Amino acid sequence: MNTISPAPADATGDDSTGAPDDGAPPAPVSRCSDPWWHPSGMLDRTAATWRSVEKHLARQPVARLTTAGPRTARWITENVRHRAEETLPGMPRARMTASMIGHVAMDESIMAMAVGPNRFPSRSDYQRVGAELALAHDRMSARGWLEDPVSYHVAPPALENPAMSTGWALGRSYERLWWPSGYEPPDGMPGRDRWQAFEANRTASAWILRHRDRPRPWVLCIHGFGTGSVFMDLFGFRAGHLHDDLGLNVAAIVLPVHGSRKPSRLSGEEFLGFDMMNGVHGLSQAVWDVRSLLSWIRAQDPTGVGLFGVSLGGYTTALVSAVEPDLDMVLAGIPVSDFVELFRYHSPHHVHLRAIEHRILDGTAEDVYRVVSPLAMPTVTPHAARAMFAGLGDRLAPPEQAHGLWQHWEDPETCWFPGNHVGYLWSDKVWRFVDAACSSRGLITEP
């Protein structure tokens, strides 16, 4: 979920090893004036060679897989050690089964493969990001947005007459919608020009599956980080089942800088990097674009409207529930609820400390992110509409993230399943819960 690797600090370029943060090779260090043949000199050279090898291995994705085993073992140890303690209210304790351990190991392997020390911030990154957040804090405070985060979000104009095309994926046809997003970060916000420079991101997009016979309920699906393609999201939401078996019309939006809107090779890369103001602008635009699409859906004479988001989409669903009261269902799957805390959770110790030193994680980022935090805003969607599911073995968005939303949503209908972040994809328990959530909220009709 994040671009900060959980690799141990001694393999990451921390100052304690003498390597700079920008990934440059360490400068030679002479610790003594002993001749080359002296035992102490040989020990120094051996230690320096090992540190160099260690750093090199930490930069190799396959080599980093070796960290998944120890991290999985630590998870097992912590769960065994704390079994006698009380669990968080509303969250059952994970059962230690072979399947659960396998799920945890899968998540840890994904994190180890995806991110390494070469993506850690440089010294100049800390300075720049710290300055941007400090300026944003001052300007948001002056405009009253930190006190009233909901006021940061302006309702977009109604979406009318989007461009339409057709496509084909996984053996079925779909319709594609395109429209100018129209979102711009507020004047004077740091990172505004950088965000506006993402040309492809200015065109919002969604794909739909709909019945043409009569008015139907609609569910708007919001994908997770790194996805946003029709192929992946047809599978990730079981959209064919929602459409064919439950009789729903399905719309799936493409989040900012994802899928067809991505400005670089990796879908979503600009959203959750160390440029933390990008996250603020991305989440704000996500809410704007979802509300735009909701306005178009409501013009189609729906008999009901629900949101269904997973991971980053679950976070977006929770955000929209703070500004859209007229929804029949808001279903958040494996949700993130606090991005700053998630950044802290996945950061090595030296990155965390330096972020505090540069006034990033000293409370500044926490305050700035209030304007895009569902936990900082009252939920206006009715309590009966709220539902969520989360994995007890999730290591990418730990279950404490879902529990934070569970508390904020005041004990909504919840499914805790024994699996990891992507385990919901093959969990019968989850999909029975999704069907039941749609049914109990009046969103199922005869196919």
| pLDDT tens per residue across span 230-270 | 999 999 999 999 999 999 999 999 999 999 999 988 888 88
Query: Is residue 423 very low, low, confident or very high in pLDDT (cuts 50, 70, 90)?
Result: very high
Classified as helix, coil or strand, 68 is helix
Structure tokens at 133: 């957040």
Burial call 59-82: b when 16+ CB within 10 Å, e when fewer: beeeebeebbeebbeebeeebeee
Residue 195 has phi, psi (to 5 degrees) of -65, -40
- pLDDT score at 71: 77
- pLDDT score at 118: 64
- pLDDT score at 31: 43
Residues in contact with 268: Cβ distance below 8 Å, sequence separation at least 6, in sequence order: 225, 226, 227, 228, 255, 257, 258, 262, 312
- pLDDT score at 44: 57
Q: pLDDT for 333-353, tens place per residue?
A: 999 999 999 988 888 788 888
Q: Strand 386-391's sheet: what is its strand order?
A: 163-169, 172-180, 203-209, 249-253, 217-222, 304-310, 329-333, 386-391, 413-417
Mean per-residue pLDDT of the chain: 85
Query: Is residue 35 very low, low, confident or very high in pLDDT (cuts 50, 70, 90)?
Result: low
Q: Outline where 215-305 has alpha helix (H).
A: 230-236, 239-244, 276-298
Beta-bridged to residue 176, according to DSSP, are 165, 207
Whose tokens are 């095309």? That residue is 165
Structure tokens at 315: 């976070």
Query: Is residue 63 very low, low, confident or very high in pLDDT (cuts 50, 70, 90)?
Result: low
User: Do 316 and 222 contact (CB within 8 A), yes or no?
Assistant: yes
Question: In the predicted model, is pLDDT for residue 84 greater than 90?
Answer: no
Question: In the predicted model, is pLDDT for residue 162 greater than 80?
Answer: yes
* Full 3-state SS string of 173-239: EEEEEEEECCCCCCCCCCCHHHHHCCHHHHEEEEEEECCCCCCCEEEEEECCCCCCCHHHHHHHCCH
Q: pLDDT for 312-338, tens place per residue?
A: 999 999 999 999 999 999 999 999 999
Question: In the predicted model, is pLDDT for residue 132 greater than 80?
Answer: yes
Q: What is the DSSP letter of 424?
A: G
Classified as helix, coil or strand, 309 is strand
Query: Is residue 34 very low, low, confident or very high in pLDDT (cuts 50, 70, 90)?
Result: low
- pLDDT score at 37: 53
- pLDDT score at 25: 38
Q: pLDDT for 357-367, tens place per residue?
A: 988 998 999 99
Q: pLDDT for 386-415, tens place per residue?
A: 999 999 999 899 999 999 999 999 999 999
Per cent of the chain over pLDDT 90 is 64
Domains of the chain and any CATH numbers: 9-24+36-119 (no CATH), 123-440 (3.40.50.1820)
Nearest of 294, 271, 292 to residue 283 by alpha carbon: 271
User: Do 289 and 373 contact (CB within 8 A), yes or no?
Assistant: no
Q: How far apart, in Å, do the first and last CA atoms of the chain sit? A: 36
Residues in the chain: 447
Q: Give the span between the Cα atoms of 288 and 309, in whole angstroms.
A: 15
Distance of CA 345 to the CA centre of its chain: 13
Beta strands in 3-88 (DSSP E): none
Q: What is the mean pLDDT of residues 298-307?
A: 97
Question: In the predicted model, is pLDDT for residue 297 greater than 60?
Answer: yes
Beta-bridged to residue 177, according to DSSP, are 164, 206
pTM of the full structure:
0.84
Classified as helix, coil or strand, 161 is coil
Structure tokens at 329: 């269902």
Top pLDDT among 10 and 182 is at 182
